[in-house]
């Protein structure tokens, strides 16, 4: 997935290699290809979350892979894709939910939490993961 020849061209989102390739886009597509299925079904009485667990290696214990997480009492998520990225976003969402509950003494509204997560993801897209630029904007 990560070759040695494109090292100069895979650092930024909009830098093309001499062959006309955007390596960051190719890396994102590969991450999606390696991802797994996550499905949610909502009824009037309940919600069911399900996630597929792929075991890429015999050295990984299947019981050590978590794909379902609780963000707040009324919000759960199923992850698909890169686990490290998802866990970071889940931790951020948990902090936002707790902060909202402490400030307003009520559960966070789902649309507010989703907007906050989308804003964070957009900032990383705009600045290519440069954390100093993101901290200034946040």
- pLDDT single digits (tens) 53-66: 888 788 888 888 88
Q: Annotate 3-15 with DSSP letters as a single string.
A: -STTGGGSSSTTP
Domain ranges of the chain: 64-137
Measured CA to CA, the distance from residue 40 to residue 76 in angstroms comes to 10
Measured CA to CA, the distance from residue 113 to residue 47 in angstroms comes to 19
- pLDDT single digits (tens) 36-82: 888 889 899 998 988 888 887 888 888 888 889 999 999 999 887 77
- Whether the pLDDT of residue 127 is over 70: the answer is no
- Whether the pLDDT of residue 138 is over 60: the answer is no
75: DSSP letter: E
Question: How many other CB atoms are there within 10 angstroms of residue 86's CB atom?
Answer: 19
pLDDT, residue 18, reads: 82
Q: Supply the pTM of this predicted model.
A: 0.71
Confidence band, pLDDT 50/70/90 cuts, at residue 106: very high
Secondary element (H or E) of residue 129: none
SS3 for 76? strand
């Amino acid at each position: 997935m990560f070759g040695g020849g494109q090292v100069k061209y895979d650092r930024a989102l909009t830098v093309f290699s001499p062959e006309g390739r955007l390596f960051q886009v190719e890396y994102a597509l590969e991450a999606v290809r390696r991802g797994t299925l996550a499905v949610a079904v909502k009824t009037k009485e309940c919600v069911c979350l399900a996630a597929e667990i792929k075991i890429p290696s015999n050295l990984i214990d299947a019981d050590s892979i978590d794909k379902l997480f609780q963000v707040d009492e009324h919000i759960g998520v199923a992850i698909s894709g890169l686990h490290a990225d998802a866990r970071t976003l889940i931790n951020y969402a948990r902090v936002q939910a707790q902060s909202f509950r402490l400030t307003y003494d009520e559960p966070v509204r789902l649309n507010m939490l989703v907007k906050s997560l989308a804003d964070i993801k957009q900032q990383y897209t705009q600045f290519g993961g440069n954390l100093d630029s993101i901290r200034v904007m946040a």
